[in-house]
Structure 1
Amino acid sequence: MDQWTVVNPYSQREIGTVPLSGWDVADAWFDTAVTLHSQRKNRLPAHERIRVLEKTAGLMEDRFAQLADLIANEGGKPLIDARVEVARAIDGVRLAVKELLHPGGRDIPMDLTPAGAGRTAFIQREPIGPVVAISAFNHPLNLIVHQVAPAVAVGCPVIVKPAGDTPLSALAFVNMLHEAGLSEDWCRFIACGQEVAEKLVTDPRAAFFSFIGSARVGWMLRSKLAPGTRCALEHGGAAPVVVEDTADVAAMIPLLLKGGFYHAGQVCVSVQRVFAPKAMARDIAERLAEGAVKLTVGDAVEETTEVGPLIRPQEVTRVADWVDEARGGGAEILTGGEKLGETAYAPTVLLDPPAEARISREEIFGPAICVYGTDGLDESIARANGLDVAFQSAVFTNRLDVAMRCIEDLDASAVMVNDHTAFRVDWMPFAGRRKSGHGTGGIGYTMHDMTQDKMAVIRL
């Protein structure tokens, strides 16, 4: 195979191709990146990086509709959500510019003991070196922005490999950076096979590795990094929601529907496991089912579509297998539970799947929400914390003490109070715990990771 063929995941119609590059190309790009970083005269001053990023944001605004259509067409994200992704990506580029106003340097007091007296010291941040970024399919523009814009902002050369299913949005963004005046040597787009990608990541010339994707692949690659290569990994979870008996259920249902079925559940923090008192669980599940059955499933490029396809037909089969397993174990399917052709799956609500079912233990990454009846808050929190993945979580309650307890007791990097688990803005920290990730995402946090401290001590 010498190219990636990109298809609309709903219709399977071909929409483009991207040629693959071999290691000879990547190797040469690495040499260039090392030279750019190591020879200080080659580094871009901040004002040039700012100019490039600001112009890129302007180009993205000019091509807003085309970018949204591209996201919907190659990634299967409904247009209404694809437009939100483009807006977020533009804001992300501008946020990288704003973060340059706060580089993070600081004074270090030296006269705290006699040994340091007579000296002045300060720390400044400098770029870490060549960055290798590997991205996922589910936010094909905004994830690339989160990996590439910080590298450009802080002055790191970057080589970016997008997901093979959705490379066109990434290529469009990289081309806009070049059109805005960034030399191609500073940001390279590469489409390549697994062998070349692994060599890229594990090459000792890589100073920083940014990965968004499956835990299996991410942790495997981290184990093979060259000594000295820093990294950030963003994987998935099986996001839990704790419902306490004072919760406003009517207000909660639309939020859970959005958090669970946004992008057909193909989001690392999608609502998946809802734990509610037994007296409330069936009512919550039935209300979710009433909302889910009204959602329009179809081709993401259609204006009326609310839930698009899964990214590949084999994912539809996998989701169907997981739901069927839960059904066979005693779960009640209140709506959905069926394929809608080869490329889409009906929004599904399950009541009380068995604890040992895969849908209760692993990330479904599909349009399915599970509701479990529990004997109270203690059990809900314990079951929410009972997996080896932990990312974002949520609690619905009208009691401050319950909210504060869940904030303290839920094992998560973020706890949303009276909101769904998939809430995010791009300047907040975004991180998985345990098997769900390593390091912290978010534009400013990534820029910090892609720089390193240098201290100067001046003897007066």
Structure 2
Amino acid sequence: MISKKQMFINGEWRQGATSYELKSPFSGEVVAHIPFSTKDDVLEAIEAAKKAREKMKALTVLERSQILGRVADLFEEQLEECALILTQENAKPLIAARGEILRTIETYRFAAEEAKQLTGEMIPMDAAKGGKGKLGFTKREPLGVIGAITPFNFPFNLVAHKLGPAFAAGNTVVLKPASQTPLSALKTAEIFESAGLPAGALNVVIGRGGEVGDLLVTHPDIKLITFTGSLEVGLDIKAKSGLKKTTLELGSNSAVIIDDAEDIQAIADRCVEGAFTYAGQVCISVQRIYIKKDLYETFSQAMLKTLEGWTIGNPAEETTNISALIQEKEAVRAEEWIREAVQAGADIIFGGKRHGSIVEPTILVNTPAHVSINCNEAFAPLVVIHTYDQFEEAISNVNDSQYGLQAGVYTTSLEKAFQAIDKIEVGGVIINDIPSFRVDQMPYGGVKNSGTGREGIKYAMEEMTELKLAVFNL
């Protein structure tokens, strides 16, 4: 029997006036019936979050930390159930789904720890002529109600990157998950409820971005919008949000430079993983590879060798490496991008075909700079390989992008490593690994059209608090 889900507002589970069928991206089968939140539902959720601020403020730091610790424990107990939810709602292969839940657990554990580390500092007031006899210090206070809008690709862990720091800092949240991945958000709400989070501190509303999302973005009681998603939506949020704070993670067309290598097969393995894990639907997926010309032949053959062992198919099967894209229209778009590149002179050395919602892992070479696969974010299992002669040329090509989230650089030269760190225009430079590397306590975010602000629990907590100064006249 197909389950009928409920939204979560003010600590209560409730039906929606209308609902929609949530379908598996892989099989097309109906997974659940999901409620649509109305404008009144969203307004009630915001009001509940506003009223719950006092309950959150009354919690000690230890109590907030303990709630987040219990959340991590509950995810650990229900790991397999949560992983299966991912295979259903976003076709994430089971092995990758388990990996996401393990990261989700770690993210909440980091939040539990960071809740205890939110401190201010003493200010040396008498360093100024007029400061004699004054004592000054700062403290960080929660902003209040956070509006969190999350994407489909990591629906447990990216929700954790919103909720973990928000609650660690003492805020309340209205969460709008992607319409294709509400089950993970609702499961997260169940777990927080079981962990003892005060009623109203977390509210989950579901609906279209142009309705539910816009209401969150423009409502005066929402003090910060934290959003992960497309550049177009991020720009719209920035335009509509007024003076409220925003943190926007808007994607990339991440590049890796391979200048020198001791183990070319190991690098090829990592690039295959970075380009094609979860069908490339990762903000820091490897999309552009710039390799020194004399390494190209060995490297490309090594990538092909690795891909021969990959399995395409049902995400619920243990052996599957790659499955369906989130919607068939995205697979069609990827197919069009491949066709555009080939018509412009590119060559396909692996893959290139579409089967319904599934796109084969695809490697292209001789791809002109102006085509979509080079300029825009693919969010599909597509990667291009370019060769270069001079390291400076590779850096220039990496920077020739509207995006700047993360970049990877493989080199045995310390001088070139620091040159890359200084010259590449991104939020994070990963030396001797792919740009897809991320652990959940590190600062994460981009420059240019990749967004504003930083995630990573400690850094997100700074975004989600206000700095207050206190001065005593002694």
1:278 and 1:120 mapped to 2: Cα distance? 62
Q: What residue is the counterpart of 2:118 in the other structure?
A: 103
Q: What residue is the counterpart of 2:356 in the other structure?
A: 342
Q: Is the 8 A contact 1:261 1:347 kept in 2?
A: yes
> Residue 121 in 1 paired to residue 136 in 2?
yes
Q: What residue is the counterpart of 2:365 in the other structure?
A: 351
Q: CA deviation at 1:45?
A: 2.5
1:375-425 CA-partner distances (Å, limit 9, x unpaired): 321211111110111111011111211212111111111111111110000
Q: What residue is the counterpart of 2:10 in the other structure?
A: none
The one-letter code sitting in structure 1 at the alignment partner of 2:198 is S
User: Cα RMSD (Å) of the superposition?
Assistant: 1.6
2:339 and 2:295 mapped to 1: Cα distance? 25
Q: Is the 8 A contact 2:79 2:101 kept in 1?
A: yes
Q: CA deviation at 1:177?
A: 0.4
2:437 and 2:313 mapped to 1: Cα distance? 24
> Residue 192 in 1 paired to residue 207 in 2?
yes
Q: Is the 8 A contact 1:274 1:371 kept in 2?
A: yes
Q: Is the 8 A contact 1:288 1:349 kept in 2?
A: no
Matches within 5 A, 1:187-336: 187-193=202-208, 194-227=210-243, 229-246=244-261, 248-336=263-351
Structure 2 CA distance for partners of 1:112 and 1:372, relative to 1, 3 Å: same
1:314-335 CA-partner distances (Å, limit 9, x unpaired): 1110001001111111111011
2:328 and 2:225 mapped to 1: Cα distance? 30
Q: CA deviation at 1:285?
A: 2.4
The one-letter code sitting in structure 2 at the alignment partner of 1:20 is F
So what's the TM-score if we normalise by structure 1?
Answer: 0.96
2:185 and 2:241 mapped to 1: Cα distance? 24
1:220 and 1:179 mapped to 2: Cα distance? 36
Gaps of 5+ in 1: none
Q: Is the 8 A contact 1:204 1:226 kept in 2?
A: no
The one-letter code sitting in structure 2 at the alignment partner of 1:459 is N
> Residue 33 in 1 paired to residue 49 in 2?
yes
1:450 and 1:44 mapped to 2: Cα distance? 17
Any idea what SS the aligned residue of 1:318 has? helix
1:333-357 CA-partner distances (Å, limit 9, x unpaired): 0110001x21111111111211111
2:280 and 2:374 mapped to 1: Cα distance? 15
1:244 and 1:438 mapped to 2: Cα distance? 30
Q: 1:69 aligns with which of 72, 84, 88?
A: 84
The one-letter code sitting in structure 1 at the alignment partner of 2:393 is E
Any idea what SS the aligned residue of 1:254 has? helix
Q: 2:417 aligns with which of 387, 391, 403?
A: 403
Q: What residue is the counterpart of 2:466 in the other structure?
A: 452
1:242 and 1:337 mapped to 2: Cα distance? 23
1:41 and 1:459 mapped to 2: Cα distance? 31
Any idea what SS the aligned residue of 2:407 has? strand
Q: What residue is the counterpart of 1:387 in the other structure?
A: 401
1:257 and 1:30 mapped to 2: Cα distance? 43
1:361 and 1:457 mapped to 2: Cα distance? 51
Any idea what SS the aligned residue of 1:185 has? coil
Q: What residue is the counterpart of 1:183 in the other structure?
A: 198
Q: 1:149 aligns with which of 142, 164, 169?
A: 164
1:4 and 1:146 mapped to 2: Cα distance? 27
Any idea what SS the aligned residue of 1:200 has? helix
The one-letter code sitting in structure 2 at the alignment partner of 1:349 is I
So what's the TM-score if we normalise by structure 2?
Answer: 0.93
Any idea what SS the aligned residue of 1:394 has? strand
Q: CA deviation at 1:245?
A: 4.1
Q: CA deviation at 1:33?
A: 2.4
Q: CA deviation at 1:69?
A: 0.9
1:210 and 1:263 mapped to 2: Cα distance? 24
Q: 1:439 aligns with which of 453, 458, 461?
A: 453
Q: Which runs of 4+ in 1 moved over 4 A?
A: 39-42
Q: CA deviation at 1:181?
A: 1.2
Structure 2 CA distance for partners of 1:42 and 1:371, relative to 1, 3 Å: closer
Any idea what SS the aligned residue of 1:369 has? strand
Q: Is the 8 A contact 2:52 2:198 kept in 1?
A: no
2:118 and 2:322 mapped to 1: Cα distance? 41
2:246 and 2:148 mapped to 1: Cα distance? 10
1:63 and 1:329 mapped to 2: Cα distance? 49
Any idea what SS the aligned residue of 1:231 has? strand
2:215 and 2:121 mapped to 1: Cα distance? 37
Residue-pair matches, total: 457
1:188-238 CA-partner distances (Å, limit 9, x unpaired): 0110222232011111111010000001001111110132x1010001111
Q: CA deviation at 1:42?
A: 5.9
2:361 and 2:64 mapped to 1: Cα distance? 44
Q: Is the 8 A contact 2:61 2:116 kept in 1?
A: no
The one-letter code sitting in structure 2 at the alignment partner of 1:397 is T
The one-letter code sitting in structure 2 at the alignment partner of 1:25 is D
Structure 2 CA distance for partners of 1:283 and 1:351, relative to 1, 3 Å: farther
Q: Is the 8 A contact 1:125 1:452 kept in 2?
A: yes
2:349 and 2:254 mapped to 1: Cα distance? 20
Q: What residue is the counterpart of 1:20 in the other structure?
A: 36
1:432 and 1:63 mapped to 2: Cα distance? 33
Any idea what SS the aligned residue of 2:34 has? strand
1:374 and 1:41 mapped to 2: Cα distance? 55
Q: What residue is the counterpart of 1:11 in the other structure?
A: 27
Q: Is the 8 A contact 1:338 1:345 kept in 2?
A: yes
